[in-house]
Amino acid sequence: MFKKLISSWKAEWFNRKESELVQEYSRRLESMMKQVRAEGEERLNAIRRQTLLEIETKENALKIIKSQNEDLSFQQKRLDDRKLELIQAQDELKIQIRLIEAKASPSSIFIEAFSQGINKAWDLLLPVMSENIDKLKIKMKEDAAIEAIQRLKYASNKK
């Protein structure tokens, strides 16, 4: 009987210990699972935050690059316009230099001086020539009138 009683207590004690151990194991397992889940969620959230930051950083970098690209395009256009202006100015300067060189050459100087001399002489002679031409016209009219009178006299004398 004592043996039976002791074996029933032993069985009861083992069953209680077994259920306590199972409960403790279940609690520890559940606690560990919660901890693992929490750590996993924390890591996942950290990865999400990091990904969002990277995306945001990349978007900001993309915006900055686009802005810089637009600035560079504008600067390139300004440089091209300035280059065209400088090319035109260079061409104009080349033409002016050629003209100055042409004017400075001995033949050009001689031609210019001769042309100015002729123009000055013409300007001085023009009034004298005009006056003489007027005198010549008057003389030609008088000569023509005298000749006409002589012809009329000759024709009247002949009759």
Mind listing the pLDDT tens digit for each residue in 58-92? 898 899 999 999 999 999 999 999 999 999 999 99
Do 69 and 130 reside in the same domain of the chain? Answer: no
Model-wide pTM > 0.85: no
pLDDT at 159 over 70: no
- Report the pLDDT value the prediction gives residue 74, as an integer from 0 to 100: 93
Asked whether residue 126 falls in the same domain as residue 70, the answer is no
CB 126 within 8 A of CB 135: no
Residues 64 and 130 in one domain: no
In a domain, 135, yes or no: yes
**How many domains is the chain built from?**
2
Range of the domain at 129: 121-159
Average pLDDT, the chain: 87
- Helix residue spans in the chain (DSSP H): 2-104, 106-158
Asked whether residue 12 is assigned to any structural domain, the reply reads yes
Note whether residue 54 is domain-resident.
yes
Could you read off the pLDDT of 136-150 as tens digits, one per residue?
Answer: 999 999 999 999 898
Q: Which two tokens stand for residue 126?
A: 């023009």
pLDDT tens-digit map of 86-121:
999 999 999 888 878 767 667 767 777 788 888 888
| 31-46: burial string, b at 16+ Cβ within 10 Å, e else | eeeeeeeeeeeeeeee
Radius of gyration of the chain (CA): 62
